[in-house]
Each structure stands twice: as structure tokens, then as C-alpha cells.
Amino acid sequence: MLIFSDEKLALLAVPKTGTTALELALRPRADIAFSKQRKHITAQRFHNQIAPFLKRAFGLVPERLAVMREPEDQIRSWFKYRSRDRLQDKDAATDGLSFDDFVRDVIRDDPPPHARVGSQFRFLTSARKQLLVHHLFAYEDQAQLLAFLKDRLGAPVTPQLRNVSPPAEAPLDPDLRAELRVARAEEFALYDRLMAAGGHLVTDPG
């Protein structure tokens, strides 16, 4: 997560949405940078803990920006990432699994370690399911995101590819896709809302 004081902007890092490349490009301009285990601070935690501290200590009330990826594609990115040979946590590896197997495990009530990938919806919303970012961008429309950042930060942003998952065939059975959409209905609904807004959803979290 990065915070820009003068621009009154906070970039929240939703996993598997290209934020590593963005953060590497933007870190030199940021006033505050959270890394390692604090990199992926959720919108709820930011709202409850970080935002009040920034306002109290610095009089800073930044708008929050995050990126969301099409839900099936984001889960596919997790699958590919966890198939990498250099993955250190072997319990999280997806060796020998098909993408169908992985999705079945992801949507289980108690997913095994390799299928614990979290939820973009839960990352971005409160316990009452309110969206807690001011600007939500579609991962698939990088041009619009980068144009916004250029306008807000006053200079072009040129991220370089980082943390890229290896190429792999990962088709999904249509019946299982339907099960996934039911299991993650709220996440798909939020993504549909984002796309209906043209890839940039503007809200007021309060």
C-alpha cells in the first residue's frame, strides 16, 4: 500500500491485480509505503485504523484507490502463481492439480492451504458489505487506470511487469464456472457493477 500526501491518495494492493508493478513504479513518489506482510492491508483495516491515524496525526484524508480483476481470472492467476517451481510453501503449491480441481477447493467451506486465496469482495468491503474505496478500477482497463494516476500525480506512470505467473493452460468446466459464480456471487456482482460503470467506479465510503 502506498500513500501520497500532497495528492491525497492511497493505493490499496488487492492481491493478483498487478499492484506489484504499480507499487514499484510509484514507490519513489510515495510518502508512506507499507511492504511485506503489511502490503495487502484491506480496505476495512484502512478505514478503521489507518485512515483515523492519518487524519489525527497529519490532517490527511486521502481518497482510496484499488484495482479489481475479473473474479475467475484472478483465481486463475492464483492457480498459475502457485504452480511455480520456486514456490517455497509446498503446502500452497498446486502441482498435479487441474484448474477445475483448484476451483473446487477454492469454493469449499474449508479450503485446503493451496486454495486459500481470499476474496476481492471481502478485501474491498466492510462487514456490512459497503464498498470502502473511492476509486475502483478494472484490471482489464490499464489505460484508464494509468491515465487517472498521471492526472492525479502529475506525471506519467510506466509500470514494468513483475511477479508474472508462468504460462499454463487453465480451462474451466462450464458447470463448475456456474458453481463458482454462485459461490462468489457478491464478488461477481461487484465486478459487474464496476464494468457497468465503464471500468472506473466512483463511490463515497464516508
CA angle centred on 74, ends 183 and 40, rounded to 5°: 100
Task: Write out pLDDT tens, residues 60-107.
Answer: 999 999 999 999 999 999 999 888 655 555 566 777 899 999 999 999
Q: What is the pLDDT of residue 111?
A: 96
Domain count, the chain: 1
CATH number of the CATH domain containing 34: 3.40.50.300
Element (H, E) at 3: strand 2-4
Identity of the amino acid at 57: A
Report the SS3 class of residue 128: coil
> pTM of the full predicted structure?
0.92
Task: Write out pLDDT tens, residues 28-56.
Answer: 999 999 987 788 999 999 999 999 999 99
CA angle centred on 153, ends 17 and 52, rounded to 5°: 75
Question: Which residues lie closer than 8 Å to 106 by C-beta, 6 or more apart?
Answer: 75, 115, 117, 180
Which structural domain range is residue 164 located in? 2-202
User: What DSSP line would sit under 10-72, residue for residue?
Assistant: EE---TTSSHHHHHHHHGGG-SEE--GGGTT--HHHIIIIIHHHHHHHH----EEEEEE--HH
Q: What is the mean pLDDT of the chain?
A: 92
Q: How confident is the model at residue 166 (pLDDT cuts 50, 70, 90)?
A: low
